[in-house]
Chains A and B, each alone.
Chain A
Amino acid sequence: MCLAIPGRILSLSADLATVEVSGVRREVNIALLPELKVGDWVLIHVGFALSRLNEEEARQTLSYLEQLGDLELPR
């Protein structure tokens, strides 16, 4: 219920989108996310796309973690 697997939007129609989630295509309701476009990644809960995944934020988090410990200060 709480765990959601990210899915990529393949096609859009009024309130529905075809999404590929771990290789499986399914229809989800997108009424809760007005400005979606094909190629966007979303989190799906119980058949509804609830949040759009921000790729830029994801990259920033990962690159931030990559530099961790590089500025190794003498402890």
Chain B
Amino acid sequence: MKFLDEFRDPALARKLLSEIRALAGDRPFKLMEICGGHTHAIYRHGLDQLLPPNIELVHGPGCPVCVIPLGRMDDALALARRENVIFASYGDMLAVPGSRGSLTDARAAGADVRFVYSPLDALKLARQHPDREVIFLAVGFETTAPATALTLLQAAREGIGNLSFFVNHVLIMPALRALLDAPDLRLDGFVGPGHVSTVIGLGPYQIIPRDYHKPIVVAGFEPLDILQAIWMLLRQLSEGRCQVENQYGRAVSEEGNPAALKAIEETMEPREEFEWRGLGMIPHSALRLREAYRELDAERRFPIPGLRLEDPKACQCGQVLRGAIKPWQCKVFGTACTPEKPIGTCMVSPEGACAAYYNYGRLSHLQPR
């Protein structure tokens, strides 16, 4: 068992697809896959072209890079351009456009911007360069917040004085509630994020069937996982059930990861509100460091512009993130906005819907979906 190839078995996929076709009939279904990782797995494996056409997959806001607003990106760039700073960031963030270029452009202009795979690498940089100020750009949902928390606790224990965190961790449930409260989005069910759920468990999703009467199935990221989750949603809908179900039993448990939740709780607290690209200001939807860790908080140690900036006029990432339009309905998709020269975050992020459509060849509505 290697937990990968077994969950890509074409024969089992065909079985699932025939069950899905039998259940789907010809009534239209709109299912949202919340997580950008699912969006990419769907298009990389071509699942959208295997599903019956009456099942429409709507892409959700589960892309932590895409939802970072322009103003916040400029704050990161302001920190990166400071004297004597080593700015450490995940690779996903390096090409995200600020109003005057990206982190990669800042590096080209002389800023010391470094790609790291883990916050622990930023801690290593701080140890190796005691004379420099190391700032780590912490982004991601509950999946990566525990890593930031543990690294921060370790830095505090070791009394590392030259490391700080620019925290932009966002939370999945407030964003989902904002989407569910939006009147224009008629959805039949949700494919839930697999790896966020390894941390938060299944409990937080209960409000979706209870208050919004929509089913949600937490899914893994292999083709069989996603197909089985879609099948489980259709079964709920056809049997009139409305529950939280867990397709990803091998990785997700009911209570999630208590140690990870504790680490987050100990070091971070929800912000009153946070701006999400495309979804606007959402209350309690992102984390900041607690007062006790102010020494390690880049926002408290260094000045940042803190401006709220509109997206570039041509950019319709906001609508893509709300599931209001498909990537190819954006005026600049694939023309002025490409992975090489991105205008919006959904094209530059490896979990963005536009990047999935562009890289896996769904370039226009003329092709099968």
Contact = CB atoms under 8 A, between A and B. Distances in A.
A34 B259 contact: yes
Contacts of A34: 259
Contacts of B36: 2
A46 B123 CA distance: 13
Interface string A33-57: 1100000010101111011011101
B92 interface: yes
A73 B198 CA distance: 36
Nearest to A68: B15
Interface in A1-45: 1-6, 29, 31-34, 41, 43, 45
Mostly helix, strand, loop or mixed at chain A's interface?
mixed
B12 A54 contact: no
A13 to B, nearest CB: 15
Interface residues of A, number: 33
A29 B37 CA distance: 23
Contacts of B199: 50
Interface stretch (B95-103, B237-245, B249-257, B323-331): B249-257
A43 B15 contact: no
Contact of B251 (A2, A32, A53): A53
Contacts of A33: 257, 259
Interface residues of B, number: 54
Contact of B119 (A2, A3, A47, A62): A47
A47 B119 CA distance: 8
B213 to A, nearest CB: 27
Given A1-B143, A48-B147, A53-B3, A43 B260 contact: no
A33 B224 CA distance: 27
Contacts of B351: 1-2
Nearest to B225: A61
Contacts of B139: 1
Contact of B16 (A4, A29, A65): A65
B117 A46 contact: yes
Contacts of A4: 195
Contacts of A47: 117-121, 147
Given A3-B195, A5-B4, A32-B257, 12 more contacts: A2-B35, A2-B140, A2-B143, A2-B195, A2-B351, A41-B3, A43-B251, A46-B90, A46-B147, A50-B198, A51-B252, A55-B250
Interface of B: 1-4, 6-7, 9, 12, 15-16, 18-19, 22, 35-37, 40-41, 62, 64-65, 90, 92, 117-121, 139-141, 143-144, 146-147, 150, 193, 195-196, 198-199, 221, 224, 228, 247, 249-252, 257, 259-260, 263, 351
Interface of A: 1-6, 29, 31-34, 41, 43, 45-48, 50-51, 53-55, 57-62, 65-66, 68-69, 75
6 smallest beta-carbon distances between A and B, as pairs: A47-B118, A2-B37, A51-B198, A57-B249, A6-B3, A58-B250
